[in-house]
Amino acid sequence: MGKMNVNLCGIELDNPIIPASGTFGFGYEFAELYDINLLGTFSFKGTTKDPRFGNPTPRIAECPAGMINAVGLQNPGVEAVISEELPKLAKCFHKKVMANVSGFSVEDYAYTCEKLDACDQVGWLEVNVSCPNVHGGGMSFGTSPEAAAEVTRAVKQVTKKPILIKLSPNVTDIVSIAKACEAAGADGISLINTLLGMRIDLRTRKPVIANKMGGFSGSAIFPVAVRMVYQVAHAVDIPVVGMGGVTTAEDVIEMMLAGATAVEVGAANLVNPFACRDIIAELPKVMERYGIESLSEIIGGVK
């Protein structure tokens, strides 16, 4: 069997598969279905300083080869995540977990990251400056190099663990933003978050979701994600975590050839809760088919 382990910011992963934030809850929900310790790690539900109910319903719209969501970062707030969610997770997941953080001000990001950085279970902090489903926060910090760098510097000042900045594809030049984050001290880059999409109900002539627009994800966005991962990975000297429409083991290989050190799987988990388990099981066969002895050796293999 080929070697599937990779090193992400100094922490060894058994394999590169990471369920993406917002598609895997806090992990213990999926632990009722299979042993989630077979994952490389996972990124838990986006966490903010204060509790959030999220956006009004309806929040989901189906699309060909994908979906639109506007959940709006519903979560119990960082204090409850630390006191309630992480202890539940500790009973079923014995690896370092990736904490996904969002905010509505630079101070929010710093506060939440500092709190989670102190948790032994947390291995990495994935700082989301790219959520398209909230007003006055999230993506507004990820649409300019200066704003993204400001968040990066603020969280680096209060943390010791690796910081991955999660970027939005809803920009004209994602490379300049990634490079600004690297210069500000980011340890890695995650991309891409969802594209901004919309559906209209022909009968009511109104938007399908209450928020009007939301994050478009699913297999339809995979080529865009591969392109952006390739661009960023060849422009920075820090690891890239690739995501966006990944549904198969072949997709994982393609994303790694583009430059991803690890690969997050998002919408596929909502269609098939066993998606990540199945991809991990299939990876050795796909590696053998394409003559790959070690996944770490193919990272950025396409120049």
List active site positions. Answer: 131
Structure tokens at 56: 């009004």
How far apart (Å, rounded) are the C-alpha atoms in residues 266 and 245? 7
Please tell me the distance from the alpha carbon of residue 177 to that of residue 71, in angstroms, as a whole number: 25
Distance CA 97, CA 74 (A): 19
Decide the pairing of beta strands 195-197 and 214-217.
Answer: antiparallel
**CA nearest to 186, candidates 166, 208, 172, 210:** 166
